[in-house]
Chains A and B, each alone.
Chain A
């Protein structure tokens, strides 16, 4: 697990209040209890706060699963450093 993956997992665990949550790339809305469209926007906000960045509209449209969120974050983190 990269540091980004660890932080991502920590955000998900805190956000959904489940300390045993293990993220997998294939996970989408139906795999996590409480992950609906409103929660999704709040989750996006939590990720922006955690990583100190803003997502573009194009990125927001892609981020619909754990895998795509991870890809966007990883790409963004490496382009920022």
Chain B
């Protein structure tokens, strides 16, 4: 091969020197010339390689590893140090069976990659660690890879790896669900890939995939595979083609209500027979239509009917307590010509396309995460480089870039997005290495800042390590570390936090601040099931709580502190107006929760109507603000006793003896309703440890202890109420 002498000139002329070199080397992977040429090409690559080149390099490295001196070469190439060289060397080492060394090379690669590149590197890292027997180090890279993957093929590899890893390692997850995916089209093509997508969100699952177009039979037949599977979540993936809509519909209103009613029947069956949560996909409005744009203009045009259907689906979803996956939005975001492929539909009933699978499964997984009550709760931001360009401590108020020019406006646009999060109830917090006065001066005095000091629930600008500050923020907001999303432009800080606090979500941020909002949005970490007035108030509540904590620090005892809060507690029976918020609260509360039984809107409605059922929700106000609906209790009459089915409180109102008031209302009700005793139940979860001895503290007697740690308690109904001196209580939940 005579190419070597001219290779540098030749490689300079190519857009992609590595792939150029690989093409030249295809017949001579092992020769001395080949090594020189490859080394030259690899050293030309900067920090980004690109997924196609990564695949080409790995393939080439596989054949190169077969050469006699493969191990020596791998070390020579690894010594080049550039990411492309590390990647190539790792692939050689893997082929040669040196998995631990390959994992080391992959771990040492600069972690500035993004999306698919990042996924490929982390997948290879997880795979090599697994093969090297380092099972404890497999879970995290696998999880991050699943979140970053941009191609179906990578999700397939991750799914395979996940299955292999499970055989030798216990990969802990925050929740597990049995999920049935039913609908039209060949669902096998993507449904199983929910496994890696959900693992990316720390959720384990078992998937049942429905037969082609058999969703109705499967749901309605009590002896179907579905019934045996006992799904906890049913995903209805019905696409627009199976609606059978004509190009023009004679009676659009009736057509829409027929579809909704048909769906609602299936939802009810899933909710009642299987006690399953339902996720319904809405419908893509197809681009190709014989009516052209008139399809949306004509009263019965297909595009218009589907738009109406989608709108009514949102309302029906609210009413029936199901969740909707916005497929129309996903199709638009992908581009409809890339979302579906007429050939693949006709030949294989495949919908959507291969390229659309990662976006679909990731969105669906995010919605499952919301159904599991795992939605992230707080956005923590770094300052320099994240909320403005430059360094406030060095550049000063006049020197930083915030508003004013294109770069500055990219930062104010990100402020706007964060402010939007705050308005819908996601509290914001600052975690930055800065002098506090410098940091605060921007929000106080910079003319262009959109976010103000007041918008942050916690403001920690100091020189402590960020993981310590994040721990403090979680403690001050009284949320788990896994509720925090940390946004930092600096990849070193991001990795530090990931290593120290793997529970904290640390999304990748791109170099360009104009894309920060998009990057944060595309994590879907704040996807939640519904939006209530409490949500809109919540960010204030968190901020006020921090003020309360400061007040508490100045009080000498709890009684004095509680009195100084001037609390008003309102205990009322469930009602329809407050039902969405109550259901949401029941489904997302993890810490102060004795049974953590989840529910649905229809089940909660049945409680309201059942005279044998006691329901109570709790509203709390104090001198700092209105916390809204933050507690709930459900008990059912069983003979001479009342049994507590659900009892929970938001972590925002803990430590104020509200639980005493809630239990007192139940006891009052029990007495007036002539019950002799109250039965309490504790079901342990990973998070509700703080309620483990709740009933003991209230003097209940343990009457049953199960192997899984679950316990039943009993307490006699007291003859009279204990007086409450430290707050103002109104109780209409107890029978009059």
Given contacts A38-B188, A42-B156, contact A61 B151 (CB under 8 A): no
B248 at the interface (CB under 8 A from A): no
Contact with B along A35-59 (1 / 0, CB 8 A): 0001001100110110000111100
Highest count of chain B CB atoms <10 Å: which of A38, A45, A56, A60: A45
List A contacts of B186 (CB < 8 A): 38, 41
A55–B342 alpha-carbon span in the complex (Å): 11
Chain B interface size, as a band, is 10 to 19
B26 at the interface (CB under 8 A from A): yes
Highest count of chain A CB atoms <10 Å: which of B26, B151, B189, B354: B354
In the complex the two chains form, is B343's CB within 8 Å of A48's CB? no
Given contacts A54-B341, A56-B343, contact A3 B26 (CB under 8 A): yes
How many interface contacts (CB-CB < 8 Å) are there between A and B? 34
Minimum CB–CB distance from B117 to chain A (whole Å) comes to: 16
Q: Which of B26, B62, B156, B189 touches A41 (beta carbons < 8 Å)? A: B189
Q: Which of B59, B343, B354 touches A60 (beta carbons < 8 Å)? A: B343
List B contacts of A60 (CB < 8 A): 343, 347-348
Minimum CB–CB distance from A56 to chain B (whole Å) comes to: 6
Closest B residue, CB atoms, query A41: B348
A6 at the interface (CB under 8 A from B): yes
A1–B156 alpha-carbon span in the complex (Å): 28
List B contacts of A55 (CB < 8 A): 343
A69 at the interface (CB under 8 A from B): no
Minimum CB–CB distance from A58 to chain B (whole Å) comes to: 9
A10–B156 alpha-carbon span in the complex (Å): 17
Minimum CB–CB distance from B32 to chain A (whole Å) comes to: 23
List B contacts of A42 (CB < 8 A): 156, 189
B78 at the interface (CB under 8 A from A): no
Within 8 A of A (CB), among B169-218: 186, 188-189
B346 at the interface (CB under 8 A from A): yes
Q: Which of A6, A19, A49, A54 touches B151 (beta carbons < 8 Å)? A: A49
Minimum CB–CB distance from A80 to chain B (whole Å) comes to: 17
Contact with B along A9-41 (1 / 0, CB 8 A): 010000001010000000000000000001001
B690 at the interface (CB under 8 A from A): no
B153 at the interface (CB under 8 A from A): yes
Contact with A along B48-72 (1 / 0, CB 8 A): 0000000000010010000000000
A45–B358 alpha-carbon span in the complex (Å): 14
A17–B160 alpha-carbon span in the complex (Å): 10
Minimum CB–CB distance from B566 to chain A (whole Å) comes to: 64
A49–B26 alpha-carbon span in the complex (Å): 21
Closest A residue, CB atoms, query B52: A52
List B contacts of A6 (CB < 8 A): 26
CB<8 Å pairs between A and B, sample of 29: A3-B26, A6-B26, A10-B59, A19-B62, A38-B186, A38-B188, A38-B189, A41-B186, A41-B348, A42-B156, A42-B189, A45-B152, A45-B153, A45-B354, A46-B153, A49-B151, A49-B153, A49-B354, A54-B341, A54-B343, A55-B343, A56-B343, A57-B343, A57-B346, A57-B347, A60-B343, A60-B347, A60-B348, A61-B347
Q: Nearest 4 CB-CB pairs, A to B?
A: A45-B354, A60-B347, A41-B348, A57-B343
- Known contacts A41-B186, A49-B354, A60-B347; 18 additional CB pairs below 8 A are A3-B26, A6-B26, A10-B59, A19-B62, A38-B186, A38-B189, A41-B344, A41-B350, A42-B189, A45-B152, A46-B153, A54-B341, A54-B343, A57-B343, A57-B347, A60-B343, A60-B348, A61-B347
